[in-house]
């Protein structure tokens, strides 16, 4: 089982291989339990949208500072 890499409040962006997310910056709102396959999940939200999204760790990366 993998560990969560990102922390609450951290800014992330979609990986170039992720086609399910808009090309935007997102803030990590919550750490969620891992999938059955052991991949950590996150609740994220961009400032441009009203919705929160649940994504796998493999779909996001740290945003440049």
Residue 60 contacts residue 44 (beta carbons within 8 Å): yes
pTM above 0.85, yes or no: yes
Place of tokens 């999940």: 41
> What's the confidence (pLDDT) of residue 54?
97
Question: 29 burial class (0-12, 13-18, 19+ CB within 10 angstroms)?
Answer: middle
Who wins on pLDDT, 10 or 18? 10
Judged against a pLDDT cut of 80, whether residue 1 lies above it is answered with no
Judged against a pLDDT cut of 80, whether residue 59 lies above it is answered with yes
Place of tokens 């339990």: 33
12-49 pLDDT, tens digit per residue, is 999 988 888 899 999 999 999 999 999 999 999 999 99
Confidence of residue 60 (pLDDT cuts 50, 70, 90): very high
């Amino acid at each position: 089982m993998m560990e969560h890499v990102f922390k609450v409040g951290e800014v992330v962006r979609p990986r170039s291989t992720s086609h399910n997310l808009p090309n935007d910056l997102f803030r990590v709102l919550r750490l969620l339990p891992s999938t059955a396959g052991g991949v950590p999940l996150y609740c994220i939200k961009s400032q441009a949208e009203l919705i929160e999204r649940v994504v796998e760790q493999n779909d996001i990366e740290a945003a440049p500072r």
